[in-house]
Amino acid sequence: MRKFRKEAFTNVAFLKQITLQTRKSSQIKRWLILFIRMALLATIVVAFSQPYASKNKTLDTKKETVIYLDNSFSMQAKGEKGELLKRAIQDLISHVPQDENIALITNDNMYRFTTIKAMTTDLLQLNYASNQIPYQAALLKAKKYFTKNRKSIKNLVFISDFQQKDMPFKGLNDSLITTHLVQLKPTNTNNAVIDSVYISKRSASSLEITVSLENTGSIIDNLPVSLYHDGNLLSKTALRLEDKAKTVFTIPNNTRIKGEIKIEDTSLQFDNTLFFNINTASKVNVLAISEASDSFLKRMYAEDEFDYKNTRLPQLNYSDIVNQNLIILNELSNIPTSLNTALTSFTTHGGVVILIPPQTIDLPSYNVLLRSYNFQPFQALSNTEKRLTTINYSHPIYRDGVFEKRVTNFQYPKSQSYYPQSIGNTSPVLQFEDGKPFLSENKNLYVFSAPLNKTNSNFQEVNLIVPTFYTISKQSLKLAQLFLTIGKENTFDIATDLQQDAVLTLVNGDKKVIPQQHYFNNKVTITTNETPDTAGIYSIQNKAEIIQNISYNYNRNESNLVYQELSKIEKSTVVSSIEAAFETIKNDNKVNALWKWFVIFALALLIIEMLILKYFK
């Protein structure tokens, strides 16, 4: 039986096809609306969670900033906008966030847990420091101001001209600290400097003062140089300055001079002035205790510089020992215990002793004295002739200006006999050809190992004897030099008697400094280092009494305007301005909030949904 198949009319088939397409379109529309609403809900949820993007891992990471500001004298050099230090201070005030907690270090001060707003006045009043701390020391000092929190963001901003030093800048090797190096450069590296002043010639009526000058940069054809005494102009000259030059001033002798040398140079200012002073010379007290002729000693000790006295041992007044600066034991056959004890006390309090043995001695008494000063003992007299061939040029009595150059071919002094002795712990000054000491020193005792009389030695006849005895004698009373350098350890003696509990004071106007000092019988030994910290002429006073003057000058190390290349410094960011450094820190710490973008995305989805509902049938 045949089956029949239904066949729709043409118009009915068309209607069925339209109904099928309508169902599919409606289904797609519903799915689109569903996906859009789900996306809309998701973006709203994400927006309310306030997402952000940052180089740092968390939004609330603690930020630590330490700034080192170099305020050394080389920062007096002028850049495009004035002195480097003054410009740096203005840039810090302008570009560091006013209320951000920071630490700031200079060469002579520190500010911790503060803000730029709080320290603005201090920064504007910041002065130049006379001593720059070494770069690595500054880095280590700055590092101590960071906490031990390993999760905090640590930034070190190191601001300097990075002047070339003996110890160059090497950077900070610490992965937790980001170092930003701000190198400030001057527009002009020319600089003239007064390097030193010294007495080059002395006569009965006058002194010649030689001034040494140096120049880095272009030749200066006409540089004015002026000499002042106590603020009054004494003399003025001009010179052509290439690399180095000298000029000479003549001043009266035997006159106290409170001197000041000045030049007119537009670069660094601190090295345009050099202070010096010439005091009325204090005589060195020398006492010779002799059993041999002292004629060679009398010839060396001029009355205008030394108060020389000679006595025999039996006539020695032991109470007179404490008033001396130098005691010479001139060929004593025996050193009694009482004298040994007095000499030990004398040298302990800063006195100096020279020991010259005769050809016949009481060996045990000599060796008791030698052992008390850590000398090796004398052995029995040797009658072997020896030549003196070695000079220790590095020893303090020969080191400073005694010899213009090292002598390799000179008339060797001879000794017909001597007392053999090992060097041991002493410092050899002069040595025989076999290395044995002819003159050695330890603990303020100078020991000759051979008699100096003309029968035994020709040492009195050679030129070496005068500078040897003269320098030892002068160093027994360490009078202050023409000037001292701030920041270095300076030790000098003041010949004066002090009452009990009295102290000496350095005074310059309103500045008063009580230096480290020790009183030794008839003198006071003063030691200074970091203070005073201002260049000038200071009077040394015992209460209201002015004893003498002393001059201090700034170290000239900052005068050479040569700078270090920082491009090869590892693990550091090098920038040319303070603004750039803090802009980098700001960008590194910047937090980009993303919730706004999700709100915009949600609004876009809402608009799309509305368009679909309206136009998608």
The CATH number that applies at residue 151 is 3.40.50.410
Quickly state the pLDDT bin for 401 (edges 50, 70, 90).
Answer: low
Mean pLDDT score, 529-538: 90
Residue 8 has pLDDT above 60, yes or no: no
Residue 420 has pLDDT above 80, yes or no: yes
Mean pLDDT score, 586-606: 67
> Which string of DSSP letters, residue by residue, matches 345-382?
HHHHTT-EEEEE--SS--HHHHHHHHHHTTPPPP-S-B
Closest C-alpha to 575, from 178, 99, 142: 178
Residue 497: which CATH number?
2.60.40.10
pLDDT of residue 47: 67
pLDDT of residue 305: 85
pLDDT of residue 439: 93
Residue 586 has pLDDT above 80, yes or no: no
Question: Could you tell me if 442 and 320 lie in one domain?
Answer: yes
Distance (Å, rounded) from C-alpha 521 to C-alpha 352? 13
Quickly state the pLDDT bin for 592 (edges 50, 70, 90).
Answer: low
Kindly state whether residue 30 falls inside one of the protein's structural domains.
no
SS3 for 531?
Answer: coil
Cut 0.85: pTM above it: no
Kindly state whether residue 164 falls inside one of the protein's structural domains.
yes
Mean pLDDT score, 408-416: 77
Quickly state the pLDDT bin for 224 (edges 50, 70, 90).
Answer: very high
Kindly state whether residue 94 falls inside one of the protein's structural domains.
yes
**Position with higher pLDDT, 477 vs 235:** 235
> What percentage of the chain carries pLDDT values higher than 70?
88
Considering 532, 556, 580, which residue would you say is the last residue of a domain? 556
Distance (Å, rounded) from C-alpha 617 to C-alpha 607? 17
Quickly state the pLDDT bin for 603 (edges 50, 70, 90).
Answer: confident
Question: Could you tell me if 181 and 199 lie in one domain?
Answer: no
Residue 141 has pLDDT above 60, yes or no: yes
- 327: exposed, middle or buried (Cβ count in 10 Å: 0-12, 13-18, 19+): buried
Kindly state whether residue 400 falls inside one of the protein's structural domains.
yes
pLDDT of residue 483: 92
Its domain, for residue 223, covers 191-278
Locate 271 and state its tokens: 């090295």
Closest C-alpha to 457, from 508, 386, 507: 386
Kindly state whether residue 600 falls inside one of the protein's structural domains.
no
Helix (H) or strand (E) holding 10: helix 10-48
Residue 484 has pLDDT above 70, yes or no: yes
Question: Could you tell me if 218 and 301 lie in one domain?
Answer: no
pLDDT of residue 214: 92
CB atoms within 10 A of CB 287: 22
pLDDT of residue 193: 93
**Position with higher pLDDT, 234 vs 598:** 234
Considering 423, 453, 476, which residue would you say is the last residue of a domain? 476
Question: Could you tell me if 543 and 394 lie in one domain?
Answer: no
Residue 156 has pLDDT above 90, yes or no: no
Question: Could you tell me if 465 and 532 lie in one domain?
Answer: no
Question: Could you tell me if 175 and 197 lie in one domain?
Answer: no
Residue 386 has pLDDT above 80, yes or no: yes
pLDDT of residue 334: 93
Quickly state the pLDDT bin for 62 (edges 50, 70, 90).
Answer: confident
pLDDT of residue 108: 87
pLDDT of residue 407: 62
pLDDT tens digit string along 95-119? 888 888 888 999 988 888 888 888 8
pLDDT of residue 52: 57
Kindly state whether residue 50 falls inside one of the protein's structural domains.
no
Question: Could you tell me if 582 and 508 lie in one domain?
Answer: no
Residue 402 has pLDDT above 80, yes or no: no
**Position with higher pLDDT, 169 vs 455:** 455
SS3 for 208?
Answer: strand
Quickly state the pLDDT bin for 7 (edges 50, 70, 90).
Answer: low
Asked if 543 contacts 512 with a C-beta cutoff of 8 angstroms, the reply is no
Mean pLDDT score, 169-184: 82
**Position with higher pLDDT, 316 vs 148:** 316
pLDDT of residue 567: 79
Lowest mean pLDDT among 165-179, 396-410, 536-550, 569-583: 396-410
pLDDT of residue 18: 54
Question: Could you tell me if 464 and 497 lie in one domain?
Answer: no
Residue 480 has pLDDT above 80, yes or no: no
Mean pLDDT score, 198-211: 83
pLDDT of residue 145: 86
Considering 415, 445, 476, which residue would you say is the last residue of a domain? 476
Residue 541 has pLDDT above 60, yes or no: yes
Lowest mean pLDDT among 290-299, 441-450, 561-570: 561-570
Question: Could you tell me if 245 and 260 lie in one domain?
Answer: yes
Place of tokens 């035994």: 456
Distance (Å, rounded) from C-alpha 535 to C-alpha 486? 7
pLDDT of residue 593: 62
pLDDT of residue 339: 94
Residue 233 has pLDDT above 90, yes or no: yes
pLDDT of residue 344: 92
**Position with higher pLDDT, 461 vs 173:** 461
Residue 216 has pLDDT above 80, yes or no: yes
Kindly state whether residue 25 falls inside one of the protein's structural domains.
no
Question: Could you tell me if 302 and 443 lie in one domain?
Answer: yes
Number of domains in the chain: 4
**Position with higher pLDDT, 376 vs 43:** 376
Mean pLDDT score, 80-87: 90
Residue 68 has pLDDT above 70, yes or no: yes
Place of tokens 């930034």: 155
Asked if 211 contacts 246 with a C-beta cutoff of 8 angstroms, the reply is yes
pLDDT of residue 101: 85
Can you list the pairs that 43-47 forms with residues at least 24 positions away whose Cβ atoms lie under 8 Å? 43/598, 43/599, 43/601, 43/602, 43/605, 44/598, 44/602, 46/595, 46/598, 47/595, 47/596, 47/598, 47/599, 47/602
Question: Could you tell me if 182 and 258 lie in one domain?
Answer: no
Q: Where are the beta strands (DSSP E) in 63-106?
A: 63-69, 78-79, 82-83, 102-105
pLDDT of residue 6: 61
Closest C-alpha to 195, from 235, 247, 151, 122: 247
Question: Could you tell me if 306 and 320 lie in one domain?
Answer: yes
Kindly state whether residue 545 falls inside one of the protein's structural domains.
yes
